[in-house]
Chain A
Amino acid sequence: MMSDVALEPQVVAPPRRVSAFRRLLRHRLALLALIVLAVLVIGSAGAPWLAPHDPEELDIANRYAPPLTEGHILGSDDLGRDVLTRLMYAGQISLSVGIAAMLVTVIVGFSVGAFAAYYGGWIGVLLMRLTDIMLCFPSVFLLLFVAAFVTPSLASMALMIGLTCWMEIARIVYSQILVLKSADFIAAARMIGTPSWRIVLRQILPNTLAPVLVAATLNTANAILLESYISFLGYGIQPPAASWGNMLTNAQSDFQVDPWLAVFPGLAITLAVTSFNFIGDGLRDALDPRIRDR
Chain B
Amino acid sequence: MTEQRSDPLLEVENLSVAFGPAKAVDGISFAVAQGEMLGLVGESGCGKSTTALALMRLLRDASLGGSAWLEGVDLLALDEAAMRERRGAAVGMIFQDPATALHPMIRVGDQIVEALQAHLDLPRAEARRRAVDLLRKVGIAAPEERFSVYPHEMSGGMCQRVVIAMAMACSPKLLLADEPTTALDVTVQAQILDLLRGLAREAGMGVILITHDLGVAAGMTDRVAVMYAGEIVEMAATEELFARPAHPYTLGLLRSIPQLDSGWDEPVPTIPGSVQGAERQTGCRFAPRCAKASEACRVPPALRDIGNGHSISCWNAP
Contact = CB atoms under 8 A, between A and B. Distances in A.
Question: Does a CB–CB distance below 8 Å link A and B in the complex?
Answer: yes
Interface of A: 1, 3-4, 9, 12
Contacts of A4: 267-270, 272
A78 B275 CA distance: 74
A3 B256 CA distance: 14
Question: Does more than half of chain A's interface fall in helix, strand or loop, or is it mixed?
Answer: loop
Interface of B: 267-270, 272-273, 277
Contacts of B270: 1, 3-4
Contacts of B273: 9
Nearest to B270: A4
Nearest to A5: B267
Given A1-B269, A4-B269, 7 more contacts: A1-B267, A1-B272, A4-B268, A4-B270, A4-B272, A9-B273, A12-B277
Nearest to A3: B272
A4 B271 CA distance: 8
A1 B270 CA distance: 8
A90 to B, nearest CB: 47
A3 B268 CA distance: 12
B316 to A, nearest CB: 20
Nearest to B266: A1
Nearest to B288: A9
A9 B273 CA distance: 7
Nearest to A8: B274
Contacts of B277: 12
Contacts of A12: 277
10 contacts: A1-B267, A1-B270, A3-B270, A3-B272, A4-B267, A4-B268, A4-B269, A4-B270, A9-B273, A12-B277
A1 B268 CA distance: 9
A290 to B, nearest CB: 14
Contacts of B267: 1, 4
B148 to A, nearest CB: 33
A18 to B, nearest CB: 17
